[in-house]
Amino acid sequence: AAGVIQSPRHLMKEKRETATLKCYPIPRHDTVYWYQQGPGQDPQFLISFYEKMQSDKGSIPDRFSAQQFSDYHSELNMSSLELGDSALYFCASSLGQSSYNEQFFGPGTRLTVL
Amino acid sequence: AQSVAQPEDQVNVAEGNPLTVKCTYSVSGNPYLFWYVQYPNRGLQFLLKYITGDNLVKGSYGFEAEFNKSQTSFHLKKPSALVSDSALYFCAVRDPISGAGSYQLTFGKGTKLSVIP
């Protein structure tokens, strides 16, 4: 079965640079979520989109922005990168944004800021 | 605000023995509860969920979890552990009536399960 695709899988950037992470949800899934997992930490919710509209917002820094496109894929744009942004970034998708629908996670993008 | 506690950072169990990974939660309404497993350098895999109904929920790979409303717990269990079950386990909660924030998952800190051959 098709899963959530994230690209790139690994990304290395310098401080103050920008990065763009991409997420392709499971086919027919219309809801996308972004999470950040620091080393040894639990995933922290950043932001979510349903039908191309922002549906929920968590602890996403103002330096980050995201959007969902007409084909339901999503991009997380990160600017003025800081060392503390080094983390594993997960995208998850679900069919509908109902609270009882499980989220299916992608393999993650490991971002290293030097 | 919703929260999840996993009181054990690590659980060690011998292969073939039953395992339990503990989880307690705090929400303002009735919780939606989830268990995910994470293998090294991999994404989170959904194991099972409790929404309503029978308090004992069965999931993937022989895992099950019991919802206990009075104790606000949702412990993950398996009758006979396998070495391949060794991984990081996350409990997560959603509070469906909290309005904004009701769609996100709030995770516990995770419990590392080691199954010893």
Quick: pLDDT tens for B48-71.
Answer: 999 888 999 999 999 999 999 999
Q: How far is B23 from chain A (nearest CA, A)?
A: 14
Instruction: Say which CATH number the domain at A59 has.
Output: 2.60.40.10
- Residue A76 region by backbone torsions, left for phi larger than 0, else alpha for psi between -120 and 50, else beta: beta
Instruction: Say which CATH number the domain at B38 has.
Output: 2.60.40.10
Range of the domain at B42: 3-116
Range of the domain at A91: 5-113
Please tell me which residue of chain A has the smallest CA distance to B52: A100
Residue B102 or B11, more confident: B11
Structure tokens at B82: 């396998």
Q: What integer pLDDT is reported at residue A101 of this predicted model?
A: 80
CA A55 distance to own-chain centroid: 14
Q: How many domains does chain A have?
A: 1
The contacts of residue B53 (CB under 8 Å, 6+ apart) are none
Give the helix, strand, coil percentages of chain A, each rounded to 5: 5, 50, 45
For the stretch A33-77, pLDDT in tens is 999 999 888 999 999 999 999 988 888 999 999 999 999 999 999
Q: What integer pLDDT is reported at residue A100 of this predicted model?
A: 73
Q: What integer pLDDT is reported at residue B97 of this predicted model?
A: 64
Q: How far apart are CA B86 and CA B75, in angstroms?
A: 17
Does the beta-carbon distance from A99 to B110 stay under 8 Å? no
Q: Phi and psi (nearest 5°) for A29?
A: -75, 135
How many residue pairs bridge chain A and chain B with CB atoms within 8 Å of each other?
A: 63
For the stretch B54-113, pLDDT in tens is 999 999 999 999 999 999 999 999 999 999 999 999 999 987 665 545 578 899 999 999
Q: How far is A14 from chain B (nearest CA, A)?
A: 23
Q: How many domains does chain B have?
A: 1
Q: What integer pLDDT is reported at residue B98 of this predicted model?
A: 54
The CA distances from residue B57 to A60, A79, B66, B102, B107, in Å, are 33, 43, 6, 22, 19
Q: How far is B27 from chain A (nearest CA, A)?
A: 14
